[in-house]
Amino acid sequence: MKDYNNVIELNHPLITHKLAILRDKNTGTKEFRELAKEIGTFLCFEAMSDAKLEEVIVETPIDTIKTGKLDEDKYAFVPILRAGMGFVDGVVSAIPNAKIGHIGMYRDEKTFKPVNYFFKVPKDIENREVILLDPMLATGGSAMDAIELLKEKGVKKIKFLCMIAAPEGLEVVTKAHPDVKIYCAHIDDHLNSNKYIVPGLGDAGDRIYGTK
């Protein structure tokens, strides 16, 4: 498998286990939603491994300690609607005070290209590190468009979190935005003729919301 610059694949036994359940076509909506949330938390933990902490003095019940704390106000989560919402509860559990924006896109079933229909982010988004959320990175079109929209707003540091990525999508996004780190639970095999990830797990949005 090709090595992609700025792509971090978690490759962890516990995540592989949870993905195995997610991939199963017989897994129901409730369990799928809960597992997507859990994987979102794991991905967020990994994405924050380079976070800079502010030095603080904390008084414990025994003594005082010089330690570090995160300035949560410097971060924003931006899910790509609608499937990206499946990650929100998981990542917010890691950074509860981060602001949340939304980017609305859907895939044109004839051209397979993303169509933008909604964009709402915090007014000071340019001063925040943005963590973009979408469970599936297939063609890379939605991710690329979302990153471009954020950069147009002045955002300088962007990370992208997904459960499963296709090599084709990784190629597109890393080439267009080499400064954006991509964190994924697993890199799958390829895209089929309908631009779905193989073996994948189907349409993440439909499975999260039970619409099919």
pLDDT digits (tens, 9 = 90+) for 66-86: 999 999 999 999 999 889 999
Closest to 184 (Cα-Cα) out of 44, 76, 88: 44
- Helix/strand/coil percentages in the chain, nearest 5: 35, 30, 35
pLDDT the model gives residue 197? 95
CATH architecture of 7-50+77-209: 3-Layer(aba) Sandwich (3.40)
Give φ, ψ of 135 to 5 degrees: -60, -30
Domain ranges of the chain: 7-50+77-209
Closest to 83 (Cα-Cα) out of 121, 38, 36, 129: 36
Q: Who's near 173: CB < 8 A, 6+ residues apart?
A: 137, 140, 143, 144, 147, 160, 180, 182
- What percent of the chain has a predicted confidence (pLDDT) above 70? 98
Q: Per-residue pLDDT tens for 108-139? A: 777 777 778 899 999 899 999 999 999 999 99
Q: Per-residue pLDDT tens for 177-207? A: 999 999 999 999 999 998 899 999 988 988 9
Lowest mean pLDDT among 27-31, 105-109, 149-153: 105-109
Q: Where are the alpha helices (DSSP H) in 55-153?
A: 85-94, 141-152
Instruction: List, by residue number, the catalytic residues.
Output: 107, 111, 203, 206
How far apart, in whole angstroms, are the C-alpha atoms of residue 130 and residue 149? 12
pLDDT the model gives residue 40? 95
